[in-house]
Structure 1
Amino acid sequence: MCLGMNDDRLGEWERCASTSNRNFEGRQGRNGRTHLVSPAMAAAAGVFGKFVDIRDVTLN
């Protein structure tokens, strides 16, 4: 998902982990919630399918 210029947008009240520093309300979809996160947090959210505390993630 980029900036919501096409059909790739958040549904209402969906949440997104984003590493972009360009954020404003409604940017990625009406009433969607974009959380600005570090690259490590974005990777962890992608792997686990939810927001996690990366301090609790161990790499083996």
Structure 2
Amino acid sequence: MALNKLRQLDQHSLGVTLPKDDLRLEGLLDENGELRDEHHVHVRHTDTGEWQLELVEDIDS
């Protein structure tokens, strides 16, 4: 099981890195390993110590 470190981003938020190989499989990275576009992810707390991430394709304006 791969472990990812929880990091302080700023005064109000934390972040977890996602492996580029996983993002590449989803088609989110270009040939240089950079994000293709702007993407949004819905993070849902599902249980004690558990979260679910879902890539959101369409954002209503």
Q: Is TM (by shorter chain) over 0.5?
A: no
Give 1 or 2 for the bigger CA radius of gyration: 2
* TM-score normalized by the length of structure 2: 0.29
> Which fold has the larger relative contact order, with Cα–Cα distance below 8 Å and residues 6 or more apart in sequence?
1
Structure number having the greater strand percentage: 2
